[in-house]
Structure 1
Amino acid sequence: MGAAGYGAQVAADEHVSTLIDWPVPEPALPEAVHPALADAARAASTAYGLARHRHTRVELAAEVAMGADGTPTMLVDRLVEDAIAESAHRNGVNLLSEETGFVDNGSAMTLVVDPVDGSANAASGVPLSCFAGVLAVDGVPTEALTTWLDTGRAWHALAGQPTPFRTSGRTELDGAAVSLLRPKPNTVEVWQRVALRAGRVRVLSTTCLEAVLVAEGSIDAFADVGSRAHRIMDLAAAMVTVPAAGGVVLDAHGDPLELDHDLNRRWSGVVAASRELAEELIEEIGTTAG
């Protein structure tokens, strides 16, 4: 092989080495999932798989626009959301998503979705990201679906109906297994207070996935310790899934959680196995959070 050919091969090898080259499975969905919600989840997995096959980690993480929620849009977000938007149009339902905002397809039904929750994880190859969606009818959430993109696992819940999975039921913070958003300058003190009381602390950087881990009893609670980092699509699926599994979703500052087209609104979400645990977390957060 000549020098030019060798150089081209090295460049090709370097390109391949930065791809996330393991496959993304189709989500294992229960039969009861509404067709529009199921189609959106499958579209998300397919688009994510194609994105990883065609684009390097650097490309997937590139900021390509500013989302409707006021945060930068990565290429991986754009590619997956575009596929979900096509799905919503195909199924004749409206869409509320963090990148595009509200898309009116003239329906009483709206999909409220986080196309890729844990975008930084997804772009870099950390297998902790998910699709999360809620189907709302006339503004009222009726069912939720969260799918773990790298494994195909799915959590489905119908509003007001018990799920086959349950929370741990834990009522005390001391010794609990807690997942937290990473600390920020104004939350370091309270973050440490919560962490020191917990028995185990994780930072997974994917709120929607952490919420369903609370719902199934794998962890006891998840919290944003006062930084108001969550948009409605970060919490919408949890607002249906976690109560159906015996837990609660609250805001650390007492703000009402409601579906809203205003993506400038923010919450400090607390997802817990029981109301007692949620209230104890909120009390601890309130001691230092402004």
Structure 2
Amino acid sequence: MRAESDPTELADLAEAIATEAAALAARRRAEGVEVAERKSSIVDVVTAADHEVEDLIRARLAAARPDDAFFGEETGASTGSSGITWVVDPIDGTVNYLYGSPQYAVSIGVVRGRPDPADWEPLAGVVVAPATGDVYRAVAGGPSTVNGRPIRVSEPASLAETLVATGFGYTAERRREQVAVLAGLLGEVRDIRRGGSAALDCCAVGAGIVDAYYERGINPWDMAAGAVVAASAGAVVRTWEAGGTRSFLFAAPAIAAPLEALVRAAEAEVLHD
């Protein structure tokens, strides 16, 4: 590995930029937020702050590492020559942000290769929650931390004692399918949590705040950083095709296999794969 691609140095840069971006997002939230545009549906919203925060992150990365590629939720992809790609969600949990909920985050992941979870090699990830000040950070194969303190996944004794986080898509059809899948899990696990930020849900698995997180149809920028945090904290990360898109699972090792089987079975029944 080339010195300029050292994961710790990449994490340092990601943390510095994400912290600055989080401060900007928090300022704009305090000033008041309005919907700037809509994407896949009436509830899939973008604020002016989403664009402004991503522009800041993109500019800082271009100045520091001009040869790297970039893949952001709002401004799309640009190519690079280094083999490194920065995968960015400027405000993950935009609806929470719009409503004033603290469950939103700036997410910056660094990968080697094209920005597709099926192909990329994760290098580092940083997730900053502006409303709480929490900074989750990890390098692949290294420790995961929150605010500099090591974190570790939980050890649930059984599937019945497993607290599971999930999320829902923005189209009505996808949401109906996801609720039907969820119905197949509710009687088998301790309970369900729905936070509204995939990045923070991944980090919650790594910190043992929940035992697992699964969702069908999340995007690369939603989980690029959080997946590194979860995996480096000991989580099992699994993905599979379901209903024409991908399902992702981040789970404590003790219950990863039975939970994956349960989710797959519920999806197969609902989606008829």
TM range, normalised to the smaller chain?
0.7 to 0.9
- Give the corresponding residue for 1:62: 36
CA displacement, residues 151-170 of structure 1 (integer Å, 9 cap, x when unaligned): 11112111122433111133
Q: CA RMSD in A?
A: 2.7
Match of 1:280 among 255, 261, 265: 261
- Give the corresponding residue for 1:132: 107
Q: Measure how far apart 1:118 and its partner are.
A: 0.3
The 3-state SS of whatever aligns with 1:185 is helix
Distance 1:153 1:84, change over 3 A: same
Q: Which amino acid aligns with 1:267?
A: R
CA distance in 2, matches of 1:110, 1:253: 24
Matched, 1:216 2:207: yes
CA distance in 2, matches of 1:149, 1:32: 22
Matched, 1:166 2:134: no
CA distance in 2, matches of 1:40, 1:278: 36
Match of 2:134 among 150, 153, 157: 153
Q: Mark the runs of 5 or more structure 2 residues left unpaired by the alignment.
A: 1-7, 115-120, 145-149, 169-173
Which is greater in Rg? 1
Distance 1:195 1:75, change over 3 A: farther
Report the number of matched residues: 241
The 3-state SS of whatever aligns with 1:187 is helix
CA displacement, residues 189-216 of structure 1 (integer Å, 9 cap, x when unaligned): 2211212322121111111101110111
The 3-state SS of whatever aligns with 1:115 is strand
CA displacement, residues 14-62 of structure 1 (integer Å, 9 cap, x when unaligned): xxxxxxxxxxxxxxxxx976343123202321220231243x23x2x33
Distance 1:178 1:267, change over 3 A: same
Q: Which moved more, 1:113-122 or 1:267-276?
A: 267-276
Distance 1:190 1:108, change over 3 A: closer
Under a length normalisation based on structure 2, what TM-score does the superposition of the two structures give?
0.77
Higher strand residue share: 2
Match of 1:234 among 199, 202, 222: 222
Query: What does residue range 1-290 of structure 1 map to in structure 2 within 5 Å?
Result: 34-54=11-31, 56-57=32-33, 59=34, 61-63=35-37, 73-92=46-65, 93-104=68-79, 106-139=81-114, 140-163=121-144, 164-170=150-156, 172-182=158-168, 184-224=175-215, 228-253=216-241, 266-274=245-253, 275-290=256-271
Q: Which amino acid aligns with 2:18?
A: A
- Give the corresponding residue for 1:25: none
The answer to whether the 8 Å contact 2:92/2:105 transfers is: yes
Q: Mark the runs of 5 or more structure 1 residues left unpaired by the alignment.
A: 1-30, 256-264
Q: Which amino acid aligns with 1:141?
A: P
The 3-state SS of whatever aligns with 1:223 is strand
The answer to whether the 8 Å contact 1:159/1:240 transfers is: yes
CA distance in 2, matches of 1:278, 1:33: 33
CA displacement, residues 142-189 of structure 1 (integer Å, 9 cap, x when unaligned): 111111121111121111224331111336322311112148222332
Under a length normalisation based on structure 1, what TM-score does the superposition of the two structures give?
0.73
